Chains A and B, each alone.
Chain A
Amino acid sequence: MENYDMIEGYAKTKRRIVIIGSMSVYENMVNLAAELNALGIRTIVPESENEHVRQMSLPDFEDFKRRVSLAYIKKIRDPMTFCVLAMNLDRHGILNYIGPNTFAEIAVAFAQSKRIYLYQGMPDAYIDELSAWGCVSVNGCLDTIINDYRELCMKEDIQLRLFP
C-alpha cells in the first residue's frame, strides 16, 4: 500500500520509505505513514488482514503469509526504496522490541545497503548487530528521517513557477 501527498517546494521523487513491524503495531505504522505522506514522502506499509484472511483455513493462511512476506521483502530490496523504518514499540516487556520477522526484514535491508531507521531505541538483545549495521534510532522524532530523505531524495525546487 503506497501513498504520498505532493508538497510544494519539493521535487517529485519515486523513492519511498518502507515501514516494517509486527501486525500488533499495524495501526501505528499506518499513522506514521500518514504523517510522512503529509510531508510529501512516499511510504509503503503492509496490507492489512481482512475478513477473508481471517476466515482462511490453516494451509491457506500459511500460504497467504508466505506470499505476503516474500512480496514485502521484494519491496524492501527494490531500488526505489530509500530506507526501512522499523516501528519497534515496547512489546511483551521488552523495550524497543524487534520481533523475528522485523529483524529478518532489517537484515534484508542491510544486505541491500538500505538505510535503516528505528522508531525507538535499540533493543538490548540486538544492539551489537543493529549498531554494526548502522541503524539509526530516532526516538519517536521523525526530523532526522525527514531531513535525510529530503536531502538525498528530493531536490528543492527553488525556481519560481510561471504557472503554479
Chain B
Amino acid sequence: MNQTEISIVSPYSRPERLFLHYFDIHFIEEKGASAISSNFLYEMRLATRIAVASAETVFIPAASYFESKLCRQIIGELNELFPLGIIALSGSSPNLDCFVQERLNIGFYRENSIQNNAYHSLFPQNGEEPPYVPRQRSATQDIVNHWNDLVQDNELQLRLRDTAGIPIPNIETRLERVPKELGALAFIPEHVYEILDLAGVEKPLHMRIRSAINEAYFASYTQDLAAGVIVDLRYLSSSFLIPSFGQNISYMKMMGFLRKNNRLKEVENCTPDQLVRFGNDPNWQIALQSAVTYVGQPSTALASIVSHSSAKTFAFSNEGNKEQSMVQKYPLSNDSPVLPEQSSRLNTVLCLTIAAVEFESVRSQLKKAFGNGKIVYLDTTRQFYAIEYSDPNSETIWHLASLSFQGETEAAVGINRFCNFLKPTIVLMVGMCMGMPKKDLSVGTVVIPNEIFVFDHQRLTPNGNQHRPHGNRVDNGLYNLAKLIASESELGFPVVVNKALASASIKIEDVNSALVKQIENSFPDVVAYDMEGWGFYLAGEGRHCLWVKAVADSGEHQSQSALGQIEKNKTQSSATDNAADFAIHLVQNFVSASPASKT
C-alpha cells in the first residue's frame, strides 16, 4: 500500500471550547507599553491561530471584540471561519444589539471613556461580526461576589498591604463600599480606582486590584462556557492563574512542536481554511495530546448553553472527514437561543407585585392594554416564571412576576434575582399601599414618593420598642418623568408625587399603633406606607426603577367576614388598577421621550 493512501483516524478529540482571555482591554492594560511591542502582538496572533487550529469553538468576550482594536484585527483575519461558528462572541446580553446598546449607556461606561467611544464608533454593527452566544451568568454579579468574598476573607486587604509595604488606613471600609458605590457602572478597574482614590500613576497596588477583577471576570466566562484557556504564554502571561473549566492548551508546548518541525511559518501565514486543515494533521493532534490539560468540571450552567445552542455548536465528529464535520457546524443563522424569548427590541420592563390581588389586577390591566400574555421561564433551572406581554407600539416587552412573601428583605432579594435574569430596562413595583390615616388620601390615589423612610431597625428597651428609621431620596429619572405626567387630567385618578413613603416589614391593622403615631408625629411628609418600598429601591439602585402604588386603605382593622373580604378585595383591585394604568402610561412616555433640541 502506498503510504499516502493510509487513512489515519485519530482517536483523539479536540478540546471543545477555548476561551481567549488575552484580548480583554484591562488584561492588555496590565501589560503597559509591552502591549504595543512586536513580541506581544506576535504572541497574541499566534496563540489565536493555535487556538483556532486546535479547538472546536473559540470564544471571545463580545466586549473584547468591540473594545479592542487588536482583537478585531487578529480575529478579522479569520473572518472566513465566522459562518462555520469556529469563532464565536459571547456576552451576558440576549443578543448583540442589546449588548452594544447597554454599553452605549453612559450609566455603564462613562461618556468619552475608551469603551464608550469604541461602541459609538462601531455602532451600528456592520453584520460582519462572529456569531454571538448569550451567556447565562452575569459577569458583573460574579465579579461582585468574588470581590465581596476576597474582602470578607481579608484576602484583598492582605494583597494590597503586601504590595504597599505598610498598612493602608481604612482599607476594609473603602473596599467594602466599592460594589455599592459603583451602582450600575461597569465593575472595571478604572471605576474602582476612582472610588478608592487611586487614580494616577500605575503602581503594583493597581495591578493587584485589576487582577482581582480580571480573575473573576474570566472565571465567569470559562465557568459558564465550560471552556479551557491557552496557558504557558510568555509575553501574554498573567499575574494570576487564568481560571479554567475545560481543556487548556499549552502555548509553549505547541510552539515547541512547530519549531521542532519547522512549521512555524506555515501557521503564521496560512489562510483560515488552511489553518483548519492544519488542525486536522495527525501530527498536530498527537502534539496536542501532550499539550492539553483538563482542569475543573463543566458547570451545570453549561448544560443549558449547549442544549440551547446545539444547532450551532460542537458537532465535530471523529468519524469520517474533518473538513465535512467543520462545515456541518454552525448554521448561518444569527438567531440567538435565549431564555425567555427575546428579540432585538430594546426596552424590557420588569413589573413586580406581591399580593395575589395585586398580581391579578396588574395582569388584567396589561392584558387589556397588550392582549394575552404568555408564561415564560426566566432561568435554565426553571425556578422563576413570569407572564410576558408585548407592546408593539412602544417596542416594549413587559414581564409580570410576583414575589412569594411580603417584607423588605424578600423584596430586595427577589427583585435582585429577577433583575439578574432579565436585565430589564425598567423595574417597577406596582400595587396597593396604605394611606396615612391623617392624610385622608382617597382610595385609588396613586402615590409616587420622592423620599422613603424605613422603620425596620428597632431597639427593644425597658421603656418599650424604639424605631430607628433611615431615610433616602428616591427622586430618580423615572420619578422626574412621573412628576411630569402626573398632572394629566385624562388619567382619571389623583396622583401624589411630592410626598414621602414609610416602609417596614410590619403589617399595620391599627391606626392607633405606636408606629403610625411616630410616623405621623415625626415625619409629616409621609403620606403612604407599605412593606416593600425600601427593599425595592435598595435592589433597584442604579436602575430605572419606580414604586407605583395606590392607596387601598388607611390602616384600619380588616374585616374578617366573607362579605368584608370581598369588599376589601374589590377596593384593593380597583386601587391597583389605577397604579397599573399609571405604570403603563409612564413606560410609554419613557420610550417615546426624545432628546432635548439643541440650539
Contacts and interface: CB of A to CB of B under 8 A. Distances in A.
B162 A27 contact: no
B79 to A, nearest CB: 25
A31 B235 contact: no
Contacts of B233: 24
A26 B159 CA distance: 23
Given A89-B239, A121-B165, A27 B259 contact: no
Interface stretch (A8-16, A48-56, A77-85): A48-56
A91 B33 contact: no
B262 A140 contact: no
A28 B32 CA distance: 8
B259 A58 contact: yes
A51 B39 CA distance: 8
A22 B205 CA distance: 20
A83 to B, nearest CB: 19
B207 A139 contact: no
A90 interface: yes
A56 B255 CA distance: 11
B204 A49 contact: no
B205 to A, nearest CB: 8
Nearest to B235: A24
Given A26-B34, A26-B39, A31-B32, A57 B207 contact: no
Contact of B235 (A23, A55, A56): A23
Contact of B264 (A24, A31, A49, A55): A55
A28 B38 CA distance: 15
B208 to A, nearest CB: 7
Contacts of A23: 39, 234-235
Interface in B258-277: 259-260, 262, 264-265
Contacts of B95: none
Interface size range on B against A: 35 or more
Contact of A137 (B165, B236, B237, B239): B165
B523 interface: no
A95 interface: yes
A93 B240 contact: yes
Contact of A139 (B165, B235, B265): B165
Contacts of B241: 92-93
Contact of A95 (B31, B38, B162): B162
Q: Which residue among B35, B40, B163, B238 has the maximum number of chain A CB atoms within 10 Å of its CB?
A: B163
Contacts of B31: 27
A107 interface: no
A137 B208 CA distance: 17
Interface in A84-136: 89-93, 95-97, 119-121
Contact of A61 (B37, B259, B265): B259
A153 interface: no
B405 interface: no
Contact of A90 (B164, B203, B208): B208
A30 interface: yes
Nearest to A31: B33
B234 A24 contact: yes
Given A55-B264, A58-B260, A28 B34 contact: yes
Interface in A36-89: 48-51, 54-58, 61, 89
A128 B159 CA distance: 20
A49 B39 contact: yes
A54 to B, nearest CB: 6
Contacts of A95: 159, 162
A88 to B, nearest CB: 10
Nearest to B233: A24
Interface of A: 22-24, 26-28, 30-31, 48-51, 54-58, 61, 89-93, 95-97, 119-121, 137, 139-141
The 9 A-B residue pairs with the shortest CB-CB distance, nearest first, are A27-B34, A93-B241, A90-B239, A139-B165, A24-B237, A58-B259, A140-B204, A58-B260, A93-B240
